[in-house]
Amino acid sequence: MMMKNKLLNNCLFELLGMTLFLIGVILMKNNAEKYIYGLFIGLGLGIFIIFARKIEASVVWKKYPDIKQHLEIEINDERNTIIRDKAGFKTNLIMNYLLLVLTIMFAFMGVSVYVVLSMVALIITQGVLFIIFSNQYEQKL
Amino acid sequence: MEVVNNLKNRLEEFRKLHGLTQEELAEKLKVSRQTIGSLENGRYNPSILLAFKIANLFGVSIEEIFIYEGENDNDDEK
């Protein structure tokens, strides 16, 4: 029952994605503003692809339940979880430095102030998110 | 200076004693085969939950499978 509901949900989102995409195409044909039809097409395609994959996965899992079980074990495996966490942490650390260096470079290269400010906002958001999640886990664990 | 915890285990011995392959043991414990391999090689130390699961599966206490041999600094080994 729950599985059927999930499939129905995914199909509805798939329809939504298609509808948004079609609206985008119609707007494009009617010479609407580029950013409006671009938004519709992008959003529509994004939703369509994400939920197409979900539907595909649920169909495959129904046919081959052993694959689903194997996949679930691989995802929930504690060693794999630690590997993911450690790899993610190191990647995040390197990306922080790269983002910082890129922001400074852009500032000195005279790139638009809005671009530089957006990047600074990203760095600040990262710091704020780190504090929020740290506090959350501090209370949870 | 990194502190290394020395935790030895007799997982391979118990597994073979029960006539299980790594795949079969992994399936029973709901972990990947690689996790069993890493545990047996001593590259990976299990969580307390997994240690309990392993002990329960073989019907022994955790201490019989996992042997804690104290800790030492990595730098001292060089």
pLDDT at B1: 61
The total number of structural domains that make up chain B: 1
Note whether residue B33 is domain-resident.
yes
Torsion of CA A9, A11, A12, A16, to 10 degrees: 140
> What is the CATH number for B48?
1.10.260.40
Q: Do B50 and A78 touch (CB under 8 A)?
A: yes
Write out pLDDT tens, residues A40-97: 999 999 999 999 988 888 888 788 888 888 888 999 999 999 999 999 999 999 999 9
Write out pLDDT tens, residues A102-138: 999 999 998 999 999 999 999 999 999 999 999 999 9
Give yes or no for B44 touching A (CB within 8 A).
yes
Distance from CA of A124 to the nearest CA of B (A): 32
Among B16, B38, B35, B18, which residue's Cα sits nearest to residue B26? Answer: B35
Reported ipTM: the value is 0.82
Note whether residue B5 is domain-resident.
no
- Domain extent for B28: 22-69
Give yes or no for B45 touching A (CB within 8 A).
no
Interface probe, candidates B32, B43, B45, chain A, greatest A C-beta count within 10 A: B32
Note whether residue B37 is domain-resident.
yes
Helix (H) or strand (E) holding B61: none
Give yes or no for A79 touching B (CB within 8 A).
yes
Note whether residue B13 is domain-resident.
no
Q: Where are the beta strands (DSSP E) in B1-78?
A: 3-9, 66-73
Residue of A nearest to B43 (CA): A79
